Amino acid sequence: MRAWRAGTRTDDLALFKAEKAARRPAFVEAVAAEIAAEVRALVFPASPWSVTSVAPGHSRDAEACCVHIARAVALRLGLPYVTTFEPRPVPGSSHPRRNAGLPPLQWRERPAGPVILVDDVATSGWHMAEALGMLRGAGIPALGAAWIGGTAQEGVEDRPAGRPLPGATRRPAAAAEPDCLVNRAAPPLPG
């Protein structure tokens, strides 16, 4: 749904990590609103759909930010939240070179029907692909939705103007400095 701006990625990442750690309700709700709006526009899910998150791990907390966001997405869509994967606490931050050494995903509760898999950030897409592969390999239809994915280069694509992290306090900046994130999706749809 969004991408980091190449020129401000380092500062934006620091702000985002602080927001993830704080898990402020305004931030979680704003992120969930964007994800829910996009999912609703794509598939308009209803029962028997459910919502889950990627397996928490790098935050070393079963109640990671992605879990809070996925629960809020489920609430906005009127769908149940299912804790599908066991947490797998691992040291350090997520990085594509280290992901291959992670322990395999373990089921906690298999969704009974199609599922929307939520992640806050999909840098390489490894965690999303791993979880979608496990779900689909078990015959469970699944749709992945990550709030931030990749880095947008200025002038590479047409897109609406950047927007700051929702609910976040902006870092001090010159008035002409671009917002920290860009929306790569179409303009928001009503509803």
Per-residue pLDDT tens digits for 122-137: 877 888 899 999 999 9
Is residue 188, in this structure, part of any structural domain at all?
A: no
CATH number of the domain encompassing residue 35: 3.40.50.2020
- The better pLDDT of the pair 29, 88 is held by 29
**Res 170: pLDDT:** 32
| Tokens 């889950």 belong to residue | 52
Neighbours of 96 (CB within 10 A): 10
Q: In a 3-state reduction of DSSP, which class is residue 72? A: helix
Residue 114 lies in a domain: yes
Note whether residue 97 is domain-resident.
no
Number of structural domains, the chain?
A: 1
Domain range enclosing 108: 2-92+102-183
What tens digit of pLDDT does each residue of 37-58 get? 999 998 888 889 999 999 886 5
The percent of residues above 70 in pLDDT, for the chain, comes to 70
* Average pLDDT for 91-99: 60
Q: What is the pLDDT of residue 30?
A: 93
Which range, of 13-17, 62-66, 132-136, 175-179, averages the lowest pLDDT? 175-179
Q: Tens digits of per-residue pLDDT, 139-185?
A: 999 999 999 887 666 554 433 334 444 433 333 333 332 222 233 43
